[in-house]
Amino acid sequence: MEAAATQNVRRTQLMPMVIVAILFFVLGFATWLNGSLMPYLTQMLQLNTTQAALILFSFYIAVTFTALPSAWLIRKVGYKNGMALGIGVMMLAGLLYIPAAKTQIFAVFLFAQLVIGAGQTLLQTAVNPYVVRLGPEETAAVRVSIMGILNKGAGVVAPIVFTALVIGSLNAPAGAELTQGQIDTMADRMVLPYLGLAVFLGLLALAVRFSPLPELIEEAQPDAAAADQSQLKAVLAKPALVLGMVALFVYVAVEVIAGDTIGMYALSLGVERYSVMTSYTMVCMVVGYCLGIALIPRVLSQQTALAISAVLGVALTLAVVFGNNESYAIANAVLVPFGGVALPDTLMFIALLGLANAIVWPAVWPLALSGLGHLTSIGSALLIMGIAGGAFGPLLWGLFSDTGLGQQGAYFVMLPCYAFILFYALKGHKLKSWK
DSSP H helices, 134-175, are: 140-162
24-70 pLDDT, tens digit each: 899 889 888 999 999 999 989 989 999 999 999 999 898 778 877 88
Task: Compute the distance between CA of residue 268 and CA of residue 365 in angstroms, rounded to an integer.
Answer: 36
Structural domain includes residue 220: no
CB atoms under 10 Å from CB of 198, counted, come to 19
Does residue 2 lie within any of the structural domains? no
For the chain, what is the domain count? 1
339-356 pLDDT, tens digit per residue, is: 888 999 999 999 999 999
pTM: 0.82
Q: List the domain range (segments joined by +) for residue 266.
A: 7-213+227-430
In a domain, 435, yes or no: no
Whether 285 contacts 278, CB under 8 Å: no
The whole-angstrom separation of Cα 408 and Cα 319 is 10
What's the CA gap between 79 and 129, in Å, rounded? 9
* Per-residue pLDDT tens digits for 151-201: 888 989 999 999 888 887 666 666 667 788 888 988 999 999 999 999 999
Residues 6+ apart with CB under 8 A from 35: 155, 158, 159, 259, 260, 262, 263, 277, 278, 281
pLDDT digits (tens, 9 = 90+) for 88-101: 999 999 999 999 99
Q: Is residue 221 part of a domain?
A: no
Residue 199 lies inside a defined structural domain of this protein: yes
Q: Which of 247, 192, 256 is nearest to 392 (CA)?
A: 256
| Structural domain contains residue 38 | yes
For residues 159 and 276, is the Cβ–Cβ distance under 8 A?
yes
Per-residue pLDDT at 41: 92
Residue 3 has pLDDT above 50, yes or no: no
Question: Does the bond joining 214 to the residue before it have cis omega, within 30 degrees of 0?
Answer: no
CATH number at residue 65: 1.20.1250.20
Residue-wise DSSP of 317-362: HHHHHT--TT--HHHHHHTGGGT-----HHHHHHHHHHHHHTTHHH
Q: Is residue 299 part of a domain?
A: yes
% the chain with pLDDT above 70: 89
Q: Does the residue 185 lie in any domain?
A: yes
Q: Please tell me the predicted confidence (pLDDT) of residue 295.
A: 86
pLDDT range class, residue 206, cuts 50, 70, 90 = very high
